[in-house]
Structure 1
């Protein structure tokens, strides 16, 4: 039994007003109070029994509660001889936030079988004498979600659910829709129906253009029911960015806030609104996504079998330009935005930044780069054990010399890498409209051995593709940009980083340029002005490694991640495919 908001209020004045009319328990105020109490308890049978026409009252009250719900409070107010007032407040809608309040007048009579409420539907709710009342939401004109150029990215569209019941002609269904659903067959439909234990299943949801050629045939197929509904969808059905889910949530919240409501009663030419609120206008949601770059990023990942992702940002604004994943990554979730992995040698951008800030080295400081080094008990090899001898720091960076970076990191304070990472956005989390992200974690390295591991992007250091794209964008800009997916709605950081000292960003960018012109990413040197850093990050054992590449191309910063790629090579190739498509 519900008790919240179900309070019967009988005013003391009521008893005195009717005291001269009769005596005993069967006064009109008493029967009205009992009637209201029964309604507040949702005991329709008891309420109907207190009227002079229980059958009609029960039918009408059941219809009223079916149409408006049961979140209502009735209160008996004033009375004059045989009449009384009834104040009602309905809490309408799924969350009960829409309120409809009114006051009606009823009568009670001594029927010879005790006092009864005279059954008059309008005494319970305005318009109930005309017909059954219904509550309906009033939706606003659907907003559109736009890309950076103002084109339609997502709009509300009609989709049709193809529902299949037990005993359906599954062979006919499969023949009609299998071309639209690879892997679907009569056998798979039968298997799904068996698992549903007698309930119907939804075989597929189809857009208007896809169902049009087969709709008539489906409508006449045994056991098939078509159920149209509206959904927010990407206009280009090939688009599969993880950002679409967050934009959908943002759109749903905006639509819900603007939705109105109406209580209606049927009339001969339609319905009449008795109460309600109009829907509010909903503005279009303008995003920062570049549709051309998004397609280029998605196409760049298409040939890759392993889970792969690309995140691209605009350093000058923090705008999110593209977030792409291939199908293998989609199966694992939004790894581009929230997946955490060891960043490997791409983290050397942070390591050299920390070392430069400590003041013990410059880009031209000559340092050893042996093929293998034992640092604080940790054996650090270079890729294929290459040995450069004594080289400037910028060369060691461009050639991705692990032994040099491990030697630099071990001499740093415990929190130096943590602080340097934060200066580049890594380890900062944002509350960004339409976007859920995690940048990464760079805990202080308490021991020299931990600093060695962290210095080459291993150990306890983790980053998401989004986090490493933010590192690249911060270097390009000289400070951390606040990311934004919706125009003019930047994310709010959970902490404010210390600014980079002057020239540190320029020094690191110079080393990143050398990585492309004469280091580990020379396959991209045909792209003018490109800056980059490759990364190979071991996980599980030395036989498994993720591949990374982070880069800056003018006002474009990006990160490419490929799970279990074995090396950075596939990530570099994917970056090249994306960038060359844009030229």
Structure 2
């Protein structure tokens, strides 16, 4: 019987290699394949049962999977009579934190049925020395720097204040309340009740905050302090929607640089079985200007509604400031991706489209009635002001809706879409550290749609980032590629037709008149400032957002200020003034 079995195995082997299937449960190739499958499934009992020493195999495999995890794949690489080669891949951590590939050899023996001869070296190199474990090897943490090289974000130690069920919240709350007034005995009790018997983290504190109260907290029964590292802003008052994207970039860079080690658990056995040293992680230098960022944040402090500021350098596309207040933070990163009707700030696009179409020049005299019925839409000016016949540059500076709506009707359906793209609006960018949406300017296929689009209403939307890019494109004469991480500009999904230089200059002249004699004269004390105000109705048209976009050519600065539900552009204009007048 044994001779016949060996002869059968000899003739069956080629088919097994070609087709990956066995001819019976007693063949060495089959038991090797079953063994590899059980190891891949981390089915310890099944794998051990296929060996000639199940007890030893069970113990070793239990410890192996405890030490290395269960993300492993084994396969039979080759067979030769009762010998076989295993190819294994273990994956560790996240990202590129570790992948261990190796091959080993093993033997199948016929002991009243084919079994794998148990040898720890068949499973993994070094396993014969005892249990193995995986450890990540963290790189030296990179810093995130501002444009001047100052520290913006660094890895710091924070402490989690954990409270167990049964802890007296009246003892904990008074200690934490000076740092977080929202923490009360009642709030802690509610958190504990909702945790269903699990500990809860009452607060996470920076080193400077925990130090004065650490001993007091540690002395309270049921309170434990758990230090850990996190990426934090150096200035804890700093708030910017860019921080999340920068943190993601930092984490992906750290993951890619993380090394790893597989080594014996026994401290008396030295040496690394496998691994990779951590790689260097260079600091991430951003384009954020700390002075302008602080000024932008302070400019929004008095505003009760959600508000945002985005400022760029037209010459380079560098993002120098991006701020939003706490009310905006509650809605998400609205400075980057919030889409709103841009209102009269979109008139920069409308006059650009009309002038490029040859329909008008800045000096063309056009009617500016207080109210106009155009293509079934009743278009009023703010408070129905009536200028009569005026030059286009005056209608722009005074923000005549009726004039712009009449211009829009004469444009082709894609006229505003194409003119907006020349200023970056509607163009998508993939930018390291930033997730942005500039806006949407759909083709206006009917005259009525063009009426609404021409005054920044209807289906036209823009983000504060998108309108800052419009201002920067006018100042530059072309769309700058946005940059947040130095020397890593964004990539646009398309390259629009360039804006004619004469058109850019004409729009700038009209924006200057807006400040010197139009709707933004309260900023007239700021030398050389160019701007455009915007009031954008939304919903049932009884509410309006406020906008101001501006260019300070002397400072190589273009920006947009947005205030939700402001009722008019006045709060946005006032915020722009606070930002620009503050020392830099």
Decide: shared fold, TM above 0.5: yes
CA distance in 2, matches of 1:40, 1:390: 81
Residue 478, structure 1, aligned to residue 480, structure 2? no
* Counterpart contact for 2:293–2:320, Cα < 8 Å: yes
Paired with 1:38 and 1:468, the residues of 2 have a C-alpha distance of 59
The alpha carbon displacement at 1:527 in A equals: 0.5
CA change 1:266–1:542 in 2 (3 A) is closer
Are 1:198 and 2:178 counterparts?
no
Distance 1:131 1:192 in 2: 45
| Aligned equivalent of 1:567 | 568
The total of aligned residue pairs comes to 563
Residue pairs, 1:182-581, within 5 angstroms: 182-268=181-267, 272-554=271-553, 555-581=556-582
Deviation at 1:41, TM superposition (A): 5.0
Question: Does residue 100 in structure 1 map to residue 101 in structure 2?
Answer: yes
1:73 is aligned to 2:74:
yes
Deviation for aligned residue 1:455? 1.3
Contact preservation (8 Å) 1:13, 1:78? no
Supply the distance in 2 between the matched residues of 1:114 and 1:475 (Cα, whole angstroms).
Answer: 82
| Deviation sequence 1:538-571 (CA, Å, 0-9, x none) | 1123421100000000210000000000111110
Q: 1:44-91 CA distances to partner (integer Å, 9 max, x unpaired)? A: 2344455565434322221112112331416486779xx956535132
Paired with 1:25 and 1:401, the residues of 2 have a C-alpha distance of: 87
Measure, in 2, the Cα distance between the counterparts of 1:213 and 1:12.
Answer: 77
| CA 49–399 in structure 1, closer or farther in 2 if over 3 Å, else same | closer
Query: Are the counterparts in 2 of residues 171 and 186 from structure 1 also a CA contact under 8 Å?
Result: yes
Give SS of 2:501's match. coil
Provide Cα deviations, 1:493-537, integer angstroms capped at 9, x if missing partner: 112111112311111111111111111111111110000011111
Change (3 A) 1:115 1:341: closer
8 Å contact kept, 1:100–1:275: no
Residues 401-458 of structure 1 deviation map (CA, whole Å, 9 limit, x = unaligned) = 1122122222222221111111111111111111111111111222222222111111
Query: 2-side partners of 1:184 and 1:454: how far apart?
Result: 48
Q: Residues of 2 paired with 1:535 and 1:28: CA distance?
A: 79
Q: Deviations over 1:361-412 (max 9, x none)?
A: 2212222222222222221111111122222111111111112212222222
| Separation (CA, whole Å) in 1 of partners of 2:142 and 2:244 | 16
**Are 1:14 and 1:78, in contact at CA under 8 Å, matched by a contact in 2?**
no
| Aligned twin of 1:3 | none
Residue 27 of structure 1 and its aligned partner are, at CA, apart by 9.5
The CA distance in 1 between the partners of 2:87 and 2:291, in whole Å, is 57
Residue 6 of structure 1: aligned partner: none
CA distance in 2, matches of 1:372, 1:348: 17
Q: Does 1:159 align with 2:158?
A: yes
State the alpha-carbon separation in 1 of the partners of residues 550 and 35 from structure 2.
74
With 375-384 and 26-35 compared, the bigger mean Cα shift is at 26-35
Query: In the alignment, is residue 63 of structure 1 matched against residue 63 of structure 2?
Result: yes
For the aligned residue pairs, the C-alpha RMSD in angstroms reads 2.8
What is the CA–CA distance in structure 1 between the aligned matches of 2:573 and 2:41, rounded to whole Å? Answer: 69
Whether the aligned pair in 1 keeps the contact of 2:36 and 2:86 (CA below 8 Å) is no
Q: 2:132 maps to what in 1?
A: 133
Return 521-530 or 534-543, whichever deviates more.
534-543
Contact 2:471–2:558 at 8 Å: present in 1 too?
yes
Deviations 1:190-242 (A, max 9, x none): 11121222222221111122111222222232222322222211111111111
Cα distance in 2, alignment partners of residues 37 and 300 from structure 1: 63
The structural deviation recorded for 1:309 is 0.3
Task: Give the drift of 1:163.
Answer: 2.0
What do residues 456-499 of structure 1 show as CA deviations (whole Å, max 9, x unaligned)?
Answer: 11111111111110110011011111111111111111121111
In structure 1, the residue corresponding to 2:396 is in which secondary structure?
helix
In the alignment, the residues of structure 2 paired with residue 377 and residue 280 of structure 1 have an alpha-carbon distance, to the nearest angstrom, of: 66
For residues 51 and 99 of structure 2, the distance between their equivalents in structure 1, rounded to whole angstroms, comes to 30
- On the 8 A contact 1:145/1:153 being kept in 2, the answer is yes
CA–CA distance in structure 2, aligned partners of residues 271 and 177 of structure 1 = 46
Q: Does structure 1 retain, via aligned residues, the 8 Å contact 2:341–2:461?
A: yes
Instruction: Tell me the distance in 1 between the aligned counterparts of 2:31 and 2:363.
Output: 97
TM-superposed CA distance for 1:145, in Å, is 1.2
CA contact (8 A) 2:465 2:560 kept: yes
CA distance in 1, matches of 2:136, 2:129: 21
- Could you tell me which runs of 5 or more consecutive residues in structure 1 were left unpaired when the two chains were aligned: 1-10, 17-23
